[in-house]
């Protein structure tokens, strides 16, 4: 019984993390698109929203298996925000890094028997 409840909770959290990380990657794409279009205000606003959404997610740390990795993502997202504010070309690399880390984060949250037990 307990194993069943834990399994259901695990799969529900994985579903949430999957949809959340997809949303975060879309927001990063929005930051890049606005940057390409030289729309500093929209790029900065999207980067700020990205940062706020990630920080809100971290408040629900019970869903996070690897807090060390989440701190790396926090740092990358802060770089995205900073480069968007400055309209710095390094934004492309920061966005790629943040997306790669977010996708790895999503993959690391996948349930395994070891994590459930």
Q: Nearest CA to 58 among 48, 47, 49, 70?
A: 70
CATH number of 2-116: 1.20.120
Rounded distance between C-alpha atoms, residue 54 and residue 73, angstroms? 9
Rounded distance between C-alpha atoms, residue 111 and residue 11, angstroms? 7
Mean pLDDT of 13-40: 91
Q: Which has more confidence, 96 or 115?
A: 96
Percentage with pLDDT > 90 across the chain: 56
Rounded distance between C-alpha atoms, residue 10 and residue 115, angstroms? 9
Q: Cα 96 vs. chain centroid, distance in angstroms? A: 12
Write out pLDDT tens, residues 51-73.
999 998 887 765 555 667 788 99
Contacts with 18 (C-beta within 8 Å, 6 or more apart), sequence order? 106
Q: Which has more confidence, 11 or 50?
A: 50
Specify whether the CB–CB gap between 80 and 50 falls below 8 A: yes
Half-sphere exposure of 76 (CA within 13 A, CB side): 22
């Amino acid at each position: 019984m307990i194993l069943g409840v834990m399994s259901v909770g695990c799969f529900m959290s994985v579903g949430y993390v999957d949809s959340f990380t997809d949303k975060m990657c879309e927001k990063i794409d929005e930051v890049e698109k606005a940057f390409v279009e030289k729309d500093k205000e929209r790029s900065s606003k999207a980067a700020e929203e990205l940062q706020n959404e990630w920080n809100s997610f971290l408040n629900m740390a019970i869903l996070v298996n690897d807090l060390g990795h989440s701190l790396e993502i926090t740092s990358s997202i802060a770089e995205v925000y900073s480069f968007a504010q400055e309209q710095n070309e390094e934004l492309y690399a920061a966005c790629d890094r943040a997306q790669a880390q977010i996708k790895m984060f999503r993959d690391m949250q996948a349930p395994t028997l070891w994590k459930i037990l």
